[in-house]
Chain A
């Protein structure tokens, strides 16, 4: 019974595919999987927008949208209708082809990332041996589409936003990758399915998730910071800082192309939360051994939505960084910490079982974190301002 609930989507797929001639079945299965991904994640995107707007509202002592439908839950439908019926404007001097391709490319690339994410037991579209590598390759391609958008718009705000976005995303790509490398080192595989399976063990009813180890916890924090920056979320939303750049690289987009950018951004958020869940939070595995009867996909999606809520919470709390703060933080703090974390993970691996490695690894990480925070991130005290007047 529980087994069936766990595999309900696979059974449904097999049942549907069974109506086709045998030669077509594997291809049809893949198509159904793709349809599933394309249906589920934009659905989650719609839920996320409502959650975000209502959650942010509550954090700012107001109600958020509450007019469309009961408690405003139909707001995304109204938004979709609005963006579909709006006029699609392409600037006269813009490169029309690239201008059109940029949002499409973004959404396509982000959707590709979902192909390797295991959303439940046996529920992965492509069980690739180098799934993590594929995921990061796809994630890095979003920068291309952002630069396409910024460049083709022929607008200074767009271009500045795109430059900022590319600088930021390349800077944070490095810690993002390096914090994930720890997991690959410990699991010995780039396959996301194998990474989840390695975490799907329990001792005394508690799971072996990587976040519950010193190096995993440190890597998770670094991953969270880098992922927030990768998805251009507040407090790293410089590329689209409204107060400085109107809307950054999608200033010149309107109507459904704008909606596609919005969709791409939120899908990237969902997918990077999904990857974080897979790498550190045990993917689809239950948080307690006694809860194993709950279908695995429920665990995966609840963990993803939890991560999204944390991202929303952070957005409601922190102000936007300055460009130099952003870069300093990436190169002077996050990158050294991830490199150190690699060594700590190696130390952990070669110290063997026992309590000693817990103490030593935690101590090293904590000390360096505090020290680097004190010294590296020390606030520079500038002297009194002097002004030079133009002659």
Chain B
């Protein structure tokens, strides 16, 4: 009959109207500044620099390799290398960025800087309320404003941060193992040199008729490459 569809539609809107007072399903609005929905884990807005530990300057992972600066499509990153060096998370001496600026107004949130960074030093933030009244200075973030602790990174991207931490720990373990192995090799070689020379003396003592081996060959000195990189 004519008008049936209209009545059906009217029923639906009436149910929406009445339901909005009782059921959250029919009133999905979130009162934004007061209430917030937690951001999705894979949300990305603007990059930040990760630091380990508590001191942002000492713990900064960035080594100013400038790959991100080169890869950034809108060229919003500006890096100046430091003259001196500081130890990185492994303990190795590295240069660090004396200046690291990103322009919020230019950044397009493409995440390419994050993908190219070999040091897990730059990651995407989920903070989206970046508006400011100063459109020049206020939108240019320096390295202090950009740095966030690793704990913060764990808070906003738990899964990704855990992976990164595992990878870094593995790298660190490998580096330590390498150092240890090198040290051990050096020690072993030193020990082996001693034993070989001892043996050769014993052999020569046992059979004086046998031609004495070249002493340089028999008891090699510790090689120069054993002392670590």
Contact = CB atoms under 8 A, between A and B. Distances in A.
Interface of A: 55, 58-63, 313-314, 316-318, 333, 369-370, 372-374, 377
A61 B10 contact: no
Contact of B17 (A55, A369, A372): A55
Nearest to A315: B13
Interface stretch (B24-32, B47-55, B107-115): B24-32
A318 B9 contact: yes
A58 B6 CA distance: 19
B3 A61 contact: no
A39 B95 CA distance: 77
A59 B13 contact: yes
Given A58-B20, A61-B27, A63-B29, A373 B9 contact: no
B2 A59 contact: no
Nearest to A55: B17
A317 B13 contact: yes
A374 B31 CA distance: 47
Contacts of A333: 2
A373 B2 contact: yes
Given A59-B17, A63-B27, A313-B17, 14 more contacts: A58-B16, A58-B21, A58-B27, A61-B16, A61-B20, A61-B28, A62-B28, A62-B29, A63-B31, A313-B13, A317-B10, A369-B1, A372-B2, A377-B2
B177 interface: no
B202 interface: no
A373 B5 CA distance: 12
Q: Considering the complex of A and B, which 6 residue pairs feature the smallest CB-CB distances, nearest first?
A: A373-B2, A59-B13, A317-B9, A58-B20, A317-B13, A58-B17
Interface residues of B, number: 18
B205 interface: no
B35 to A, nearest CB: 12
28 contacts: A55-B17, A58-B16, A58-B17, A58-B27, A59-B16, A59-B17, A60-B16, A61-B28, A61-B29, A62-B27, A62-B28, A63-B27, A313-B10, A313-B13, A313-B14, A313-B17, A314-B10, A316-B13, A316-B17, A317-B12, A318-B9, A333-B2, A369-B1, A370-B1, A370-B2, A373-B2, A374-B2, A377-B2
Contacts, number: 48
Contacts of B17: 55, 58-59, 313, 316
A147 B222 CA distance: 104
The main secondary structure of chain A at its interface with chain B is: helix
A373 B7 CA distance: 15
Contacts of B26: 61
Nearest to A316: B13
Contact of A369 (B2, B9, B29): B2
A202 B20 CA distance: 39
A41 B147 CA distance: 60
A59 B10 CA distance: 10
Nearest to A377: B2
Contacts of B6: 317-318
User: By CB atoms of chain A within 10 A, which of B6, B13, B21, B28 has the most?
Assistant: B13
Interface centre among A313, A333, A372 (most CB of B within 10 A): A313
Contacts of B9: 317-318
Contacts of A313: 10, 13-14, 17
A35 to B, nearest CB: 36
Interface string B62-88: 000000000000000000000000000
A58 B18 CA distance: 8
B23 to A, nearest CB: 10
B34 to A, nearest CB: 11
Contact of A373 (B3, B12, B28): B3
Contacts of B14: 313
A83 to B, nearest CB: 26
A318 B6 CA distance: 7
Contacts of B21: 58
Contacts of B3: 373
A379 to B, nearest CB: 11
Contacts of A372: 2
Given A313-B14, A314-B10, A317-B10, A373 B1 contact: yes
